[in-house]
Structure 1
Amino acid sequence: MDLQDYRDARHRRLVEMATELGVPADRAAAVVDRVIEDQRRRILRSADPDQVVVPALREEVLGRRSRGPLLAVVVLVAGVAAAFAVAILTGPPDREKVERTSATVPALLGLTSAEAVSELGRAGISSRVDPVPQCDPAGQVLGSVPPSGDTVRLDEVVVVMATATPSWNCPADSAARAQAWAFLRFLVSGSASPRLAPEVRLYVDGKSAGTADGTHAAAAPDWRWRVRDPVVAYAVRPVANDLGQPVVSITSGPPPPTTCGLPTTIPAGVADAPTRVVLTVSGAGPGDGPDPGCQLTIDLFEDDHGGIVVVSLTFPGGSRLGPPAWVLARDDRDALDD
């Protein structure tokens, strides 16, 4: 991994992490620069430099000031663990046993109906699938009732709303719709393999953001930092509509001249007009950015062979080649919690 490429892609997010860990805002950039420099050799050798830099940043900020109290915490935890082990061996009285009676409906966007039923089942939630005829590929999850994020009793049945083949004639864009849904599932759940060109050019908020390898999974660094993390963070949070997840709209044809107040990206060397995927987080209501009609927009441009060769994303509020300010990507949070 080239050190400058990594610095350009992740510096702003790493500075935000440092401030979240308690570094004064005016010193955070210097701390991040020092950590990146200290880890230079490991970054150059690593396939995913975040796995090197994030723990090193946490150690730099928290390690030195927490090693004294940490010993006491370890002793306390060990004592609690020992007591817990004794409790397991002896067994609590029956009256103290607490059975789980509720669960939280997980995020289901980016799953098929079968995958959603399995996901709910792993959470201990019963479900059924209600078909919604649409001119989209059958079996794509549109939402649930009760919606994602709600707490339900384990004796309740969650209704999964999923696309179904309609009885009427649909426009002749079924291939583009299938490709768009596959790309969304590729990003969010990793359960689909859209047709990607060997090298996919990326644009974020109208600016070139490098390339991604079309043979790699969305969890690969070139996809994850620029595309997957911010899209997943946007897509899986519960939203204020009846289904609890963004409404997916797919259109094909020439895009408007501007998107979220920015000139729409029209790259060279692509075939025809893009397929546009819009994730609307609040039904017909306003978006999250300064433009009240702005929603997360993904334009997919294909080459002459039908492979996605350009992905252009526009985020409400801007992304600056990473998650918007209102997003703390789940992978980053998990890394900090380790």
Structure 2
Amino acid sequence: MDPHEYRDARWYALLRAAADLGVPDEDAPALVAQVLAANRRSIKRAEDPDPLVHDALRDAVLGPPPQAPSRRWVGVVALAAALVGIGVVVAVTRPDPPPPDRLRGDQVPSLFGYDGSDARALLEDRGLRVTVQPFRACEVYGRAVGSDPPAGTPYDAGDPITLYTSLPADVACLTDYQDRAASWQLLDFANHRGPAPTFADRVFVYPGDGPPLILDHAHAEDPDGWATTGVLDALRAASGRVSLVSEHPLSYAIPAVHVVPVGQGAGGCGVPTPAVAGTADVFALTIQPPERTGCPLRVEVYREDGAIVAIAYDPGSG
């Protein structure tokens, strides 16, 4: 049997088998990977590699019988020595603690703010084998809404991953569909993953703690033209945040978007009141931080005839 296909098909079952043998969850992936590497030729020759791999895994953990009381760790050390002899390094020590506020290159990335095509490209660029599956959700069509395994999960190149993209559940759950689509367009623009939204000839920008700024149409359509406002930089930074929730099992939280009428959702948090007259076409976009504490980043978007005429922004305190 092809060793790579066997690994893909049986990886999680082998992790469970290692756990049943007493291997700590955080050590199981390294041990299973090394057992598979050490038995690659036998797996390739076998029609059903399961028995030999389970025996090798048991021997790696418990040692071949009979064995002294300390045989569990003697077996692991023996496996390490054997693998070093064939040029494979075995990690029998506990890996470094996962970072609490970012993801390493060997962890599944956060897909917050991505549409399906960009998320797929990101995952494939990381060497993952991607399957896209629609998922019924109250979200704009085609946005990335999650993955299996989720963000933060360690992976190896060639591992499979399922990317879930939104399929709006029904009309009733997305009465704010157009506002939500406009919010994602603004976020895509901030993250350099999409064109500029439709801006008016002049755009008034009300930063959280400074005087209003005015951008002409050309500057508004250029991400660099927003540098003095801090708005796009803040949206980009908020989009990329993650927060470690649990090490066992390894779990991360990512931001969340809420789109509400401008008079709702501020609570004790707020933004400047723009001097925008003659328009009732306004909504508020908030990005809740992963920790869900403090005031979220909040952007109020004012439009006339479909074009953005003003933005009021507060960086929040999350």
2:112–2:239 contact (8 Å) kept in structure 1: yes
* Other structure's SS at 1:119 match: helix
1:1-338 alignment, distance < 5 Å = 103-170=106-173, 172-205=175-208, 207-216=210-219, 217=221, 219-223=223-227, 226-240=230-244, 244-255=253-264, 261-262=269-270, 264-269=272-277, 271-272=279-280, 274-282=282-290, 286-287=292-293, 292=294, 294-303=295-304, 305-317=305-317
Q: In the alignment, which residue of structure 1 is the partner of 2:40?
A: none
The structure with the greater share of residues assigned to helix is: 1
Matched letter for residue 299 of structure 1: E
CA displacement at 1:223 relative to structure 2: 4.2
Matched letter for residue 113 of structure 2: G
2:206–2:274 contact (8 Å) kept in structure 1: no
1:254–1:274 contact (8 Å) kept in structure 2: no
Matched letter for residue 177 of structure 2: S
CA distance in 1, matches of 2:120, 2:152: 16
Over alpha carbons, which structure has the higher Rg? 2
Q: Report Cα offsets for 1:23-78 as digits up to 9, x if no partner.
A: xxxxxxxxxxxxxxxxxxxxxxxxxxxxxxxxxxxxxxxxxxxxxxxxxxxxxxxx
CA displacement at 1:130 relative to structure 2: 3.6
1:253–1:273 contact (8 Å) kept in structure 2: no
Q: Report Cα offsets for 1:268-308 as digits up to 9, x if no partner.
A: 225115211111123xx542xxxx3x1111211112x1111
C-alpha spacing 1:235/1:266, structure 2 compared with 1 (3 Å): same
CA distance in 2, matches of 1:281, 1:146: 22
State the identity %: 20
C-alpha spacing 1:200/1:122, structure 2 compared with 1 (3 Å): same
CA displacement at 1:222 relative to structure 2: 2.6
CA distance in 1, matches of 2:288, 2:117: 24
CA distance in 2, matches of 1:311, 1:204: 8
C-alpha spacing 1:171/1:317, structure 2 compared with 1 (3 Å): closer
C-alpha spacing 1:220/1:109, structure 2 compared with 1 (3 Å): same
Q: Report Cα offsets for 1:87-112 as digits up to 9, x if no partner.
A: xxxxxxxx7799xxx83333433321
CA displacement at 1:170 relative to structure 2: 4.2
CA distance in 2, matches of 1:133, 1:307: 30
CA displacement at 1:165 relative to structure 2: 2.3
Which of structures 1 and 2 has the larger relative contact order (alpha carbons within 8 angstroms, sep 6+)?
1
CA displacement at 1:167 relative to structure 2: 3.7
Name stretches of at least 5 consecutive residues in structure 1 with no aligned partner.
1-94, 319-338
CA displacement at 1:113 relative to structure 2: 0.6
1:144–1:244 contact (8 Å) kept in structure 2: no
When the two structures are aligned, how many residues end up with a matched partner? Answer: 212
CA distance in 2, matches of 1:173, 1:297: 17
CA distance in 2, matches of 1:203, 1:260: 19
2:139–2:174 contact (8 Å) kept in structure 1: no
Name stretches of at least 5 consecutive residues in structure 2 with no aligned partner.
1-85, 90-104, 246-250
Q: In the alignment, which residue of structure 2 is the partner of 1:75?
A: none
> TM-score when scaled to structure 2?
0.56
2:279–2:302 contact (8 Å) kept in structure 1: yes
Matched letter for residue 234 of structure 1: A
1:110–1:185 contact (8 Å) kept in structure 2: yes
CA distance in 2, matches of 1:184, 1:105: 21
